Structure 1
């Protein structure tokens, strides 16, 4: 029988989705896969109900409905500080997952090199490999997850075709400073490199940190492929509405890739999401306040539980140090599976985000109702006692 592609040997099933499945099996609180357990804004639900009756229900223009693109261009022009043309600078995708894949296939040829910061969201390396490119890993160093300038410079000297930047970062919660981004911009210009950004958490940034759109830096719009999504901002992860913004010479090719990958995003959901794009500034201010409160509530609970963690600057993830339990002798995957079954809380093993042999971190998220977070914290407060009660002897592992 013929053999499947060797590219697929490079990675396995998503560990995040695996943890969700195990969480569902045992009825745990799912703090692994990053989606809310609360409703989207009422304006979107009202429009969705109307669209269900009135349509549209057929194909839209493959790169996004005109009405949606106009609303998106108006919103992003304001926040990014760039004059975005809805007719030439946007392609609407099936979530940011497709947006990133389209960006990679648009920018790269087989054999090209792509810089990926480690830790990274698991899809990035898959995108690089499926595009036939080769990743160059540059570590982000805890606890602040800063990069070493000399190391990044050496990576650029390998003449990469692109660099991927997740800002704010999943899984670390890091918000890149303007100075850090400018350093990357100078290298990208010097070595003629594309910059592919994942900015899905652009509106979830805790003060005093500020999100800087890479494309807004002087001279960078022409080489930046900005990917994002409505999923996190409006709590509609299941609607799968993402987009790419960039100069017309990139978007023209990206539209072709997108067309042959998925044809187009769901037309009724594009229509229903427009009220979200037209929200006043106060919505985003309230969103920042909401997630700041959720973060503070959650990390206070982690602190009361005696757990070590890294406070995020943005996004809605927290990395928790489990080395006191595992001693480096029990895999983080095994620990997460035990925690689901015995503690009732699902996390993601940190090793799935790192190129380096990191086995002492797990990722939890706090995009949940207050009562859900309080319940999760109460369960996590029993973690140490349950671990000890089960007489888990790490010295024999």
Structure 2
């Protein structure tokens, strides 16, 4: 008789019981299954500058392969401080106010864990990137969702003002905006500053697409606005800027008092970030042209993609920044009754082009007949997707 104890795995109580697989993973897997052109998940399908690869190799061969300082390689923090001052006129102290992170997602989580407490409230503006709410929930705080204006996706300051209360600890602001590709104006930043002036609310500014702003617009970093800079943690991404999303390196910049708390968490959830890549990025940032040329680089891709959608019956929403293009399919009679998720599934399985439903960026799945494409792709990739879309949609348009 076997008397060995039976192995049993305890059933954990989930910290995030409502969280499943992200829409990006779902649609990418579906695209792969059906051989679809993946314009869903936001990553380039082209290579980065070979000079950047060479810089990493040189850093490795130079012996930069052990732990760097917890806050990041000093040369890279210096380069970030110089770039921010040159672009936005605000000087961060690289020793006390800039930390290199394992990508922007880690920076956002670290900022929230460091600055938000159980019982606090944090405002997010929907539609929003899908990591915001789970990050807030992990702290024991409450997510307060304020919708951006449907159709235009502009901030609704009356609703933001109404959402502010005695328990409001922070607000997350994202410009250029994912998923809508809108860009906040200077006036909107000033209105935000005026709303927050009587409060101690912290701004967590997701600015990962800071160098992708089109048609002569200026990126309105909170760093441009002294009143906001004094209460903000700014997050950005080298992966987005230099076409190396898989490297997962970003940074956070904030006043010293906020950054001191940020680093307390950072040192225990990551400690530090890939050493040779940091040295390579520091050297690469000596030449500003790669990020200064980025708006024209992506505007050409945007314009090629928009021109190729002509005649499909899809209504093109403005794409002011980021590398996303949203479209409205309500004028397609065969599809206007479909949910956004169903339309994206049809596009992927029947047309062979993957997109992301905007409803996935809302907690309650708000339906607007709007889906998001990513145009950070090679011209051949975009052209293949456009051919499939035209063939499938032109004959069905009104």
TM-score for the superposition, normalised by structure 1? 0.92
Confirm whether residue 368 of structure 1 aligns to residue 364 of structure 2.
Answer: no
Alignment partners' CA distance in 1, 2:187 and 2:290: 28
Aligned to 1:203: 211
Tell me the CA shift for residue 158 of structure 1. Answer: 5.4
- What do residues 190-234 of structure 1 show as CA deviations (whole Å, max 9, x unaligned)? 121000000011010002321111132132222101111111111
SS of 2:148's partner is strand
Q: CA deviation at 1:178?
A: 0.9
Q: 2:301 is matched with which residue?
A: 294
Hey, what does 2:3 align to over in structure 1?
none
Q: Over aligned residues, Cα RMSD in angstroms?
A: 1.9
User: Structure 2 CA distance, aligned partners of 1:19 and 1:376?
Assistant: 15
- Judged with a 3 Å threshold, the aligned counterparts in structure 2 of structure 1 residues 49 and 386 are, in CA distance, closer, same or farther, namely farther
1:275-319 deviations in whole A, cap 9, x for unaligned? 332223x43342111111111111111223221221211001111
For the pair 1:381 / 2:385, whether they are aligned, the reply is: no
The equivalent residue for 2:5 is none
Q: Name the residue aligned to 2:340.
A: 332
Could you say what secondary structure the match of 2:168 adopts?
coil
Structural mapping, 1:7-46, within 5 Å: 7-46=15-54
| Bigger mean CA deviation after superposition, 309-318 or 283-292 | 283-292
Q: How many residues align?
A: 386
Matches within 5 A, 1:214-225: 214-225=222-233
Q: Is there any run of 5+ residues in structure 1 with no aligned partner, and where?
A: 389-397
Question: Paired residue for 2:177?
Answer: 169
Give CA-to-partner distance per residue, 1:115-170, whole Å, 9 cap, x none: 10011111111211122211111111133212222211101135410000001100
Cross-structure match for 1:395: none
Q: Assess if the C-alpha contact under 8 Å between 1:299 and 1:311 holds in 2.
A: no
Q: Counterpart in 1 of 2:257?
A: 249
Alpha carbons of structure 1 residues 302 and 142: separation in structure 2 relative to 1, 3 Å: farther
- Counterpart secondary structure, 2:48: coil
Q: Distance in 2 between matches of 1:25 and 1:357?
A: 25
Structure 1 residues 27 and 54 mapped into 2: Cα distance closer, same or farther (>3 Å)? farther
Aligned residue in 1 for 2:120: 112
Q: In structure 1, how many angstroms separate the alpha carbons of the residues matched to 2:127 and 2:257?
A: 31
Q: Which runs of 4+ in 1 moved over 6 A?
A: 385-388
The answer to whether the 8 Å contact 1:19/1:348 transfers is yes
Distance 1:259 1:193 in 2: 24
Q: Which moved more, 1:22-31 or 1:310-319?
A: 22-31
What is the DSSP-based 3-state SS (H/G/I as helix, E as strand, rest coil) of the residue aligned with 2:239? coil
Measured after TM superposition, the shift of residue 47 of structure 1 is 0.7
Task: Write out per-residue CA displacement over residues 88-121 of structure 1, whole angstroms, 9 at most, x where no aligned residue.
Answer: 0011110000000011111100121011001111
Q: Structure 1 residue 310 and structure 2 residue 313: aligned? A: no
**Aligned equivalents of 2:207 and 2:69: distance in 1?**
24
User: What's the secondary structure of 2:17's corresponding residue?
Assistant: helix
How does 1:28-107 map onto structure 2 within 5 Å? Answer: 28-107=36-115
Task: Provide the C-alpha distance between the structure 2 equivalents of 1:5 and 1:385, rounded to a whole number of angstroms.
Answer: 50
CA distance in 1, matches of 2:184, 2:101: 25
Q: Is the 8 A contact 2:178 2:324 kept in 1?
A: yes
**SS of corresponding position for 1:10:** coil
Higher helix share: 1
More moved, 106-115 vs 43-52:
43-52
TM-score, normalised by the number of residues in structure 2: 0.92
Match of 2:247 among 230, 239, 248: 239
- CA distance, structure 2, for counterparts of residue 3 and residue 190 of structure 1: 46
